[in-house]
Amino acid sequence: MRVSGESGSRAVALRGSEVADDYCCRMSARLRVVLDQLAHVVDADQAAASVELASGLVRTAPSGCVVEAIVPAASEPSIEGLVEVRRLPLARRELAASWQLGLTQGVGGGLIHSSTLMAPLVRHDRLHDHDQTTVTTWDLLAWDAPESLSKSAVAWQRAMLKRAVKHADAVVVPSHAMAARLGETTKLGDRIRVIAGAAPSGFVVPLDAAARRAALSLPSGYIVLTGSERSLEAGFRAAVAAGAEAVVLDVAEGAEPRLAEIAVAAGLPESRAHMRGALSRDDRAAVFAGASALVATSDLFAWPWRVVEAMTLGVPVIAVESGMHRDVIADGGAIVDPAEIPDAVVDALGSGARRLSVLAADRSRAFSWLGAAERVWGLHADL
């Protein structure tokens, strides 16, 4: 495992930028980024991350380096500064199936970076043709929690990681804990690189936050919960202990009745457990603005998008003990065993509120898409 960037380390980012500057001074570099979810969104967080990173790559491009986009048919990137858009003849669904089989005609070579596993992963010559292909995986759910995904999604992700092990010059993951896990289960060796994600650029409380919360039928005060069916019980018990209502984010369609049952079994009346599915960026910011705390109950290897967003807005964070949370939250929140979550939430809603809010806001400054982009440039220069 090699580290292309440390969360919160500006010095590492600068070193990566200096390497990239030197690389582009020696040769003109065109970095080709895959933007596969512009028209057909499969994962909203990853789709937004791809656009954020591509915009950051344009803004941080060293002298002599430019950025091109590779997109499926009927896709139109709105990112300023792209020097070219290579629009492929297949739509996203067909392109995913084609690349899974290694059929990449019309893509071409060069330096290719994908913010997901969606990439033209085929045999290439990095030494003589200077071709590079790097991909990203934000989670290992297809391996550690396949029940949380559709069967087709599990099969596709596993197949694409196999192709990445065989053909990728580097696989980017967002945390050291995930890097260690991936290193244990694959033969990627030192091709694993760590580059963290970030909250959406300009993630702030909207002026109409109160109206948005009212439109979502939210109570006047609550804690926010994130996690899976098997982990959320601890969050519901915490809401009971704190005398608070609970708002669960990112609830899969059709899972509401089962989660309501879990809440009731934990002692939280169904009327005090509010299930909400995928929300827009501004709606999420409005929800966090009305929250007393975020309780992250999952210990899976997955980038905690909502944790980073909550910290960005200074919301106190309580998270279950895990390597991912240790990497991302560090000292920016309370990381505890599942049994300790209720007591931690009671503290966060009382005497610990101000301290946890400040710590969260401070920690959030470690993450930015511009910093991630600098590290991606440094990664390709290093290769």
Q: What percent of the chain has pLDDT over 90?
A: 89
For 66, phi and psi rounded to 5 degrees? -135, 170
Indicate the pLDDT class of residue 20, thresholds 50, 70 and 90: low
Is residue 250 over pLDDT 70?
yes
Is residue 355 over pLDDT 70?
yes
Is residue 175 over pLDDT 80?
yes
Q: What's the whole-number mean pLDDT along residues 66-89? A: 97
pLDDT the model gives residue 21: 59
Q: Is 194 in a helix, a strand, or coil? A: strand
Q: How far apart are CA 318 and CA 332, in angstroms?
A: 9
Q: How far apart are CA 335 and CA 131, in angstroms?
A: 42
Q: What's the whole-number mean pLDDT along residues 322-332? A: 98
Token duo for residue 368 = 């930015």
Q: Which of 27-36, 183-192, 370-379 has the lowest mean pLDDT?
A: 27-36
Indicate the pLDDT class of residue 48, thresholds 50, 70 and 90: very high
Indicate the pLDDT class of residue 12, thresholds 50, 70 and 90: very low
CATH class of the domain whose range is 209-364:
alpha beta
Cβ-contact 141, 302 below 8 angstroms: yes
**Residue ranges of the alpha helices (H) in the chain?**
10-26, 44-59, 92-100, 141-144, 151-167, 176-185, 209-215, 233-242, 256-265, 281-289, 305-312, 323-329, 341-348, 353-364, 369-382
What are the residues whose beta carbons fall under 8 Å from the beta carbon of 14, sequence distance 6 or more?
374
Q: What's the whole-number mean pLDDT along residues 358-379? A: 98
pLDDT the model gives residue 331: 97
Question: Edge-to-edge strands of the sheet including 273-275?
Answer: 273-275, 246-248, 222-226, 291-296, 317-320, 334-336
Gap between the terminal Cα atoms of the chain: 14
Cβ-contact 297, 237 below 8 angstroms: no
CATH architecture of the domain 10-198+368-382 equals 3-Layer(aba) Sandwich (3.40)
What are the start and end residues of each CATH 3.40.50.2000 domain in the chain?
10-198+368-382, 209-364
Is residue 4 over pLDDT 80?
no
Q: What's the whole-number mean pLDDT along residues 41-59? A: 98
Is residue 5 over pLDDT 70?
no
pLDDT the model gives residue 40: 95
pLDDT the model gives residue 13: 44
pLDDT in tens, 102-144: 999 889 999 999 999 999 999 887 665 679 999 999 999 999 9
Q: What's the whole-number mean pLDDT along residues 183-203? A: 96
Q: How far apart are CA 315 and CA 223, in angstroms?
A: 10
pLDDT in tens, 23-42: 554 446 999 999 999 999 99
Indicate the pLDDT class of residue 8, thresholds 50, 70 and 90: very low
Is residue 7 over pLDDT 70?
no
pLDDT the model gives residue 124: 81
Is residue 231 over pLDDT 60?
yes
Mean pLDDT (the chain) is 93
pLDDT the model gives residue 11: 39
